[in-house]
Amino acid sequence: MEISALQNARYAYTPRIPACLSCSLEEISLEIGAPAKATADEDELRTLFKHSYGKPIVSCVSGKTGIAKRPFTVGVILSGGQAPGGHNVIAGLYDGLKKGSPDSTLYGFLGGPSGLLENKAVECTGELIDRYRNTGGFDIIGSGRTKIATPEQFAAAFENAKKRGLDAVVIIGGDDSNTNAALLAEYFIERGSSIQVIGCPKTIDGDLKNEYIEASFGFDTAVKTYSELIGNIERDATSAKKYWHFIKLMGRSASHIALECALQTQPNVCLISEEVEAKKLSLSQIVEEICSSIIKRAADKNNFGVVLIPEGLIEFVPEMKKLIKELNDLMADYADELGTITNFIDQVYWLDQHLSYESLDLFKTLPPSIGRQLLADRDPHGNVQVSRIETEKLLIGMVENKLEELKKINAYTGKFNALAHFFGYEGRCAFPSNFDANYCYSLGLTAFILIASGLTGYISSVRNLVAPAEQWIPGGIPLTMMMNMEKRHGSSKPVIKKALVELEGAPFKEFAARRGLWAQETCYQFPGAIQYYGPPEICDQPTKTLKLEHREQS
């Protein structure tokens, strides 16, 4: 197979890693901290995780204790949506295992957690690993969204892990996948098994983070990829001077991607879902905010602009959130009955009998295309599939209507032509940035150190990420300390709490202080393509979000 020059060069890239991970295993020690506690629902979590709750935070340091060298047999799983750098986590894990012993074996379970349930795996050899170093995607073993949830599934996972002779399972995934890792670790302990479970923090949405997980891998590459595309559109907008571009960005539960892209590209408008919810803004108020920028710019003869929209915005608008909740509940409670109604008009008639007055009134004001999307098939958690709702087109239509009203009273005399975009898959499998290549490889090496130290129920952690990679601090965080209890499918479940944009945090404050100027002036910035070779200030920089958060804490 012929490969590109860049791909060939990336194979040869040697990730930079924390200094202590460069030592021989005999020179690496674990520094044990105090027992960790969850930030909420501690009593319930302690009851659910009798054997794994309250473990200490650990850090890797250079020391004399050393990590024992011996062969390990480990299985690795890629779970959930793709994120740049996943291949490097596996490469780091593989290299760590071989550093411990050439006789170690790494199995990659195929297609996500279902690979463990069906005992479908491939041995990760050096030749296989070398074909995927520093590349994007999850195609080395594939991924999947199967959840290990039922007693039968947990039993199958346990039996197949034993059949493979596994010492440990590494689950690379987001908040739900790592919640699954915690439950699996507890299940193994309850059955007297020594099989360990270690997680790795993955999600381009950036909502799996806390004090010790400073960033989820893939976020850095994704936002830089999206920012390049946004910058290209901004350049086009300033050239053509006749279009308003409405750009929806990945991020269902949190607006970290939209916020970081705004900091990098300085659009005219960027909506932040968490702010919309906090201020209880209605759809009409959001439209008024966008129209305000359009009118100001039109007065300066600038009939063009850029609007960034988080994927999950619609769920944070209080009136829409109420409607979606009612629809989710109805579609869960009346699944069989609704399944027989396929005509949209008949579906609306059925809703007329079941929705609250306020929600029904709102539903009928939405374009039929949006109504159909709200009634489409649910995701595995029973929720509306927000990525299928064309929020960008909904807002364009509402803005057009509002501007037509304003024209009738001579409050707006400009021209409005809009184009809709959705950037999602474009960022999930890009070549990882140097930051993500380094970070992911370090996460994989750290996962091996945690395994070799006999730990289970932990997530691999690498901190101090704004410093050069050599100064990063690897370690492990008990998965249970990141959890709380949430209602899922009508019952209370332990889940890792999603990290939303903090409106009192430094990144949002930086954005809020500058957006007023951006709304009227053309202040666009053009980040350009991700750079892999050259000065560190160009090639190895973390996100603006990470820098601002560290500046706030220091």
Please give the positions annotated as active site.
Answer: 205
Place of tokens 């950036």: 206
β-sheet bridge partners, residue 478: 458
β-sheet bridge partners, residue 309: 248
Report the chain's C-alpha Rg in angstroms.
25
What token pair was written down for 493? Answer: 């479940």
CA angle in degrees (0–180, nearest 5) for 275-276-280: 115
Question: For 200, what's the count of Cα atoms within 13 Å in the CB-facing half-sphere?
Answer: 35
> 287 and 399 in contact (C-beta within 8 Å)?
yes
Beta-carbon contacts of residue 34 (< 8 Å; ≥ 6 apart):
56, 57
Closest to 133 measured CA to CA, from 3, 1, 15: 15
- The CA-based diameter of the chain, rounded to the nearest angstrom, is 79
Strands (DSSP E) found in 326-438: 418-423
Kind plus residue range of the DSSP H or E element containing 441: helix 434-452
Beta carbons within 10 angstroms of residue 197's beta carbon: 30
CA distance 431 to 440: 13
The DSSP call for residue 311 is T
DSSP β-ladder status, 473-478 and 56-62: antiparallel
Place of tokens 């596994």: 166
